[in-house]
A and B are shown apart, each in its own frame.
Chain A
Amino acid sequence: MNKKRSFIHFGRNQNILFIVLMFLGVFLVMQFRAVTEKTNEDGTSAREMASKLDVERSEGKKLLQTLTAMEGIYAEKLRNIGEKQGDQAFSDLLEERDRVFFRSGLTDVKGEGVILTMNDAVNPGEMAIEEYIIHDSDVTTILNELRLAGAQAISINGERVLGLTKTVCAGPTILINRSRYAVPYEFKAVGDAQKLFQALDNSEAVGILRLYNIRVEMKMATEITINRFQTYDIQELMTGLEVVAK
């Protein structure tokens, strides 16, 4: 009782103190509620979107599998038609089709080569944070180094890189062809493994990346498989193009 009284009796400042404290209390509660509500709301919608994205992605994977299987059947059927007819022109054309698909990047390929993995710096130093993350220009430079060293087929995170493949920075991710990828980036290149490895290891581009603590790992491999270029709509690659007869 005595103690309680001592807390209540502050003398002349009592009223002012009471108002100040009450104001503070209300302010704190309001603030706290506002903050928790806000994070909850955004948290759920981000989660919702992420699960929607997962659904779309797995749908895409299934469609790709279906498509690949159907293309196999299609090729088989064509071969059968060719054989049934015993038509040499038809068989030649089939052979040419396989060869041109191979040369244009529309077929999976394998061979020796290198695998390079790139990831953002773990411990950024004192410079701006932009210096320690991977940009599209880094990707472009690595691609050019690989091409300089005679790479015959290249993919990034399983996405086949053709001559006109776009690699565009989009926030912390990079758009490659038609899909977006986040770090780490895995470059696979088929070619002379020794030559590719040495060219990369000695390149200015990799040296600079390492200087900024960007994690670059490289290894040679005797057999690398590189996916074909995934055509979603082949016409999209040649809208507005007209073949000029030689």
Chain B
Amino acid sequence: MKTGKLLALTLICFVIGVVVTWQYGSVKSNQQIASFEKKRVSELVEDILLERSNNEKLQSRVDELQKELAAFDSEESGSKDALDKLKASVLQARMIAGLETVKGNGLTVELDALGDRIIEDRHMLELINELRASDVQAMSVNDERILATSEIRKAGRYLMVNGRQLVTPYIVKAIGDPGKMENSLRLLGGIVEKFELYEFQVTITPSDNIIIPAVRDDGTVLRTDLMTPIMP
């Protein structure tokens, strides 16, 4: 009887031990799952807000277009109106294509290497990307306009942009919200801090009169010879 009792007790304790361990493990993983879920929910909420604002913009664009179409149909609003609209639309597309010299509020970032380390293509890419992330409207590096086909290439000690060799100091001009752009560059542990570790001299100058030149329109930067448009 005594061994039976002992055996039973051992068994019970063993089972409890296993259950507690298992439960503990599952609680831990459940907590992880819960934190993932929480993150997922907040990401989903962000996505929903993003989609919603996109959709609102689309809806207002649809409404606007509807009005314009209706205006075309009513005879009295003549061709003068259509001509003006067309002109405006061409100019907007030219601005997006970088075919117009533009000016506005923004900043310049002057970048020069003081130490042994040279400024490489990846450094410039990082800087440009940081500015893109803060909603820049137009950008140039040493007056080379940054467009869809603009590459940053390392060529010896210097950089090439749009097939042109640049020399230091590199001057990045950006039109956009200067405060927003400067803040994102000066973030703790951000790009300016990093560049200073590399002994690059970074000078950020906000200005309300940043002028960014148009692209050289000779077919070297805006290249379209290997593609054909699909017209609506």
Contact = CB atoms under 8 A, between A and B. Distances in A.
A64 to B, nearest CB: 7
Contacts of B57: 232-233
A94 B231 CA distance: 13
B138 to A, nearest CB: 6
A42 B34 contact: yes
A9 B1 CA distance: 11
Contacts of A190: 226-227
Contacts of B101: 243-244, 246
A57 interface: yes
B114 interface: no
A107 B232 CA distance: 8
Nearest to A97: B90
Contact of A152 (B33, B83, B149): B149
Given A67-B58, A163-B98, A53 B47 contact: yes
Interface residues of A, number: 105
Interface string B1-15: 100110011000000
B37 interface: yes
B58 A49 contact: no
Nearest to A161: B148
Given A74-B69, A105-B148, A180-B50, A10 B227 contact: no
Interface string B73-113: 00000010011001101111111111111111110000000
Contacts of A56: 48, 51-52, 55
A72 B232 contact: yes
Interface string A70-100: 1111110110010001010110011011101
Contacts of B206: none
Contact of B148 (A9, A162, A231, A244): A162
A85 B72 CA distance: 14
B191 interface: no
A103 B8 CA distance: 83
Given A7-B8, A93-B90, A190-B227, A71 B232 contact: yes
A106 interface: yes
B227 A111 contact: yes
Given A38-B30, A77-B69, A147-B149, A238 B92 contact: yes
A242 B104 contact: yes
Given A68-B232, A100-B93, A147-B149, A85 B79 contact: yes
A165 interface: yes
Given A106-B93, A164-B137, A111 B58 contact: no
Given A35-B27, A81-B82, A152-B226, A71 B54 contact: no
Contacts of B177: 240
B164 interface: no
Contact of B58 (A7, A63, A97, A151): A63
Interface stretch (A121-129, A171-179, A213-221): A171-179
B100 to A, nearest CB: 5
A243 B20 CA distance: 72
A153 B231 contact: no
A51 B51 CA distance: 13
Candidate in A105, A148, A238 with the most chain B CB atoms within 10 angstroms: A238
A109 B58 contact: no
20 contacts: A28-B20, A46-B41, A49-B44, A53-B48, A63-B55, A63-B62, A70-B66, A90-B79, A90-B86, A98-B229, A110-B228, A140-B126, A151-B149, A162-B96, A170-B46, A178-B54, A180-B47, A191-B226, A233-B57, A238-B137
Given A166-B135, A241-B104, 5 more contacts: A68-B232, A75-B231, A106-B96, A225-B230, A239-B137
Interface of B: 1, 4-5, 8-9, 16, 19-20, 23, 26-27, 30, 33-34, 37-41, 43-48, 50-52, 54-55, 57-62, 65-66, 68-69, 72, 79, 82-83, 86-87, 89-106, 121-122, 125-126, 129, 132-133, 135-139, 145-153, 175-177, 211, 214, 222-232
Interface of A: 6-7, 9-10, 21, 24, 28, 31-32, 35, 38-39, 42-43, 45-46, 49-50, 52-53, 56-57, 59-60, 63-64, 66-68, 70-75, 77-78, 81, 85, 87, 89-90, 93-94, 96-98, 100-112, 136-137, 140-141, 144, 147-148, 150-154, 161-168, 170-171, 173, 178-180, 190-192, 225-226, 229, 231-234, 237-244, 246
